[in-house]
Amino acid sequence: MKNIVLSGVVAALLLFTGCSTKEPAVDSKANETEKPAVEVEVVETEVVASEDSAVNSSTSSSTSNSDLSMADIEAQLSSIYFDFDQFSIDADMQAKIETASEIGKNSANSFNVKLEGNCDEWGSDEYNFALGLKRADAVKKAIVAQGIDASRISMVSYGESNPVCSDKTQACWAKNRRVDFKLLP
């Protein structure tokens, strides 16, 4: 009888404890700078007749140019790759750091930068989130040393959850050990 009660209690405990949730580590400084939510007023909709619906072509082209400009700048920023289980920047990646810093000082000086740390599939989720954040921090320190203002940089770690390659090869895993640059308005 004791065995039945004891196994019932153990089963109930296992049922109610559940699994822990896993969330990416985010730079706490980026969260502090976010502004509190502001309530927005309801916007009234307006119907426009088809003959009045022509859009000024200069307005639409200027909007797409700014979007295209941001995308073009982001395309010039190369990912920084790391060795297995490492977060130190190799000498062969230093040229990419210098290029990113020059772009950040010149053409991207009006944008903020988000550094996205990524890992391969080896290691636990928690370990990879921490390693991705260390990699992003190493890149942040390197570009700050090149003259980029640290307040323009935020960091996030995706751990192993954002792979660019899913093959089970050394070359594929090497592509996933990286820090990506993303521009923010």
Domains and CATH numbers, the chain: 23-32+93-160+178-185 (3.30.1330.60)
Distance CA 169, CA 184 (A): 33
Instruction: Give the pairing type, strands 112-118 and 178-184.
Output: antiparallel
Number of other CB atoms surrounding residue 173 within 10 Å: 18
Q: Which residue has the higher pLDDT, 154 or 70?
A: 154
For 18-165, where are the alpha helices, taking DSSP H only?
Answer: 28-32, 57-76, 94-105, 125-145
> Looking at residues 125-147, what average pLDDT do you find?
95
How confident is the model over 43-89, as pLDDT tens digits? 454 554 545 444 433 333 333 334 447 888 888 999 999 999 999 99
Distance CA 2, CA 122 (A): 44
Distance CA 80, CA 25 (A): 19
Using 50, 70 and 90 to split pLDDT, how confident is the model at 1? confident
Q: Is the pLDDT of residue 169 over 70?
A: yes
Using 50, 70 and 90 to split pLDDT, how confident is the model at 139? very high
Average model confidence (pLDDT) across the chain: 78
Instruction: List % helix, strand, coil for the chain (3-state, nearest 5).
Output: 50, 15, 40
What is residue 61's predicted lDDT score, i.e. its pLDDT? 36
Supply 100's token pair.
């990113």
Nearest to 113 by CA among 69, 152, 158: 152
Q: Which residue has the higher pLDDT, 16 or 172?
A: 172
What is residue 70's predicted lDDT score, i.e. its pLDDT? 83
